[in-house]
């Protein structure tokens, strides 16, 4: 996905340290309600865990992600599923899908209109689009910390920010403008524990904040991460020594008219 070119992905670290992303995304499979024999696209599939869950319902799944490293990992983990590298902001397929599913990926795609138009074109008439992603205010504690710290390293955080966190009104309006009927939409808080105390926060910053640190040498990178952590720590809630990231998610279910 075009904007993800600024973000480096390490599949091993993602699975080992950030696997909660897929686990927390399982809830939206109830909204998808996959059926035997359906063809479903997992848009921004990462290392393929949820694509594999969907195949368990008897659906035929195609997984697509911008990151070649993630796709290689997905193919190794789930060789019976079709995975491909693709741009989520502009894609097409020869045969349309019954449904398109996405978890924790759409907020990495700043050209939301391009995503939605591509999704519409890749769906059958009456096809379903079901997604969960970061909404307005998502990880705001980290965002504010990046904006405070990174200028001290001669980095403009506004230019580096890789995320698109829309309001629920903004996103549902885009869907309606591009020929969808929105059935359900929710914008909710989901405090998310980052295991291992400070190490868990540093794993998060390394795994998801890479775009802000590009161009720094190793010493500067480590120092900047530590400063971002110290700044964010003042506002992060901790439960039994485990920091809680202030996730705010949007879930949508829409149908192509």
Show the tokens assigned to 22: 């897929």
pLDDT value for 240: 86
Say which residue, 52 or 25, is predicted with more confidence. Answer: 52
Indicate whether 167 pLDDT > 90: yes
In the prediction, which pLDDT does 86 show? 97
- The pLDDT of 171-190, averaged and rounded, is 97
2-138+163-194+247-256 CATH fold? Rossmann fold (3.40.50)
- Summarised one tens digit per residue, pLDDT across range 69-118 is 999 999 999 999 999 999 999 999 999 999 999 999 999 999 999 999 99
Q: What is the pLDDT of residue 8?
A: 57
Number of helices followed by number of strands (H, E) in the chain: 12, 10
Q: What pTM does this model have?
A: 0.89
Phi-psi region of 126 (alpha: psi -120 to 50; beta: other; left: phi over 0): left
- Judged against a pLDDT cut of 90, whether residue 50 lies above it is answered with yes
* The pLDDT value given to residue 241: 85
What pLDDT, on a 0 to 100 scale, did the predictor assign at position 197? 87
pLDDT tens by residue, 11-36: 555 454 444 455 555 678 999 999 99
CA count, 13 A, side-chain hemisphere, 9? 24
Q: Is the model's pLDDT at 6 over the cut of 80? A: no
């Amino acid at each position: 996905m075009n904007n993800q070119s600024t973000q480096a992905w390490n599949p091993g670290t993602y699975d080992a340290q950030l696997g909660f992303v897929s686990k927390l995304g399982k809830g939206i499979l109830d909204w998808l309600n996959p059926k035997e024999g359906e063809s479903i696209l997992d848009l921004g599939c990462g290392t393929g865990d949820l694509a594999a869950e969907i195949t368990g319902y008897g659906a035929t799944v195609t997984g697509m992600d911008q990151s070649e490293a993630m796709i290689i990992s997905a193919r190794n983990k789930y060789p019976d599923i079709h995975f491909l590298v693709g741009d989520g902001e502009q894609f097409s397929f020869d045969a349309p899908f019954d449904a398109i599913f996405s978890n924790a990926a759409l907020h990495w795609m700043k050209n939301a209109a391009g995503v939605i138009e591509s999704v519409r074109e890749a769906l059958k008439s009456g096809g379903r689009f079901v997604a969960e992603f970061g909404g307005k205010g998502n990880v705001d504690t980290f965002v504010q910390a990046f904006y405070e710290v990174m200028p001290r390293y001669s980095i403009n955080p506004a230019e580096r920010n890789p995320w698109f966190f829309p309001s629920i009104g903004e996103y549902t309006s885009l869907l309606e403008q591009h020929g969808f009927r929105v059935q359900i939409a929710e914008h909710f808080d989901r405090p998310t524990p980052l295991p291992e105390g400070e190490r868990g926060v540093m794993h998060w910053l390394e795994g998801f904040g890479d775009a802000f640190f590009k161009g720094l040498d190793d010493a500067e990178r480590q120092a900047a991460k530590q400063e971002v952590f110290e700044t964010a720590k003042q506002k992060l809630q901790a439960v039994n020594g485990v920091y809680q990231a202030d996730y705010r998610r949007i879930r949508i279910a829409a149908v192509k008219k």
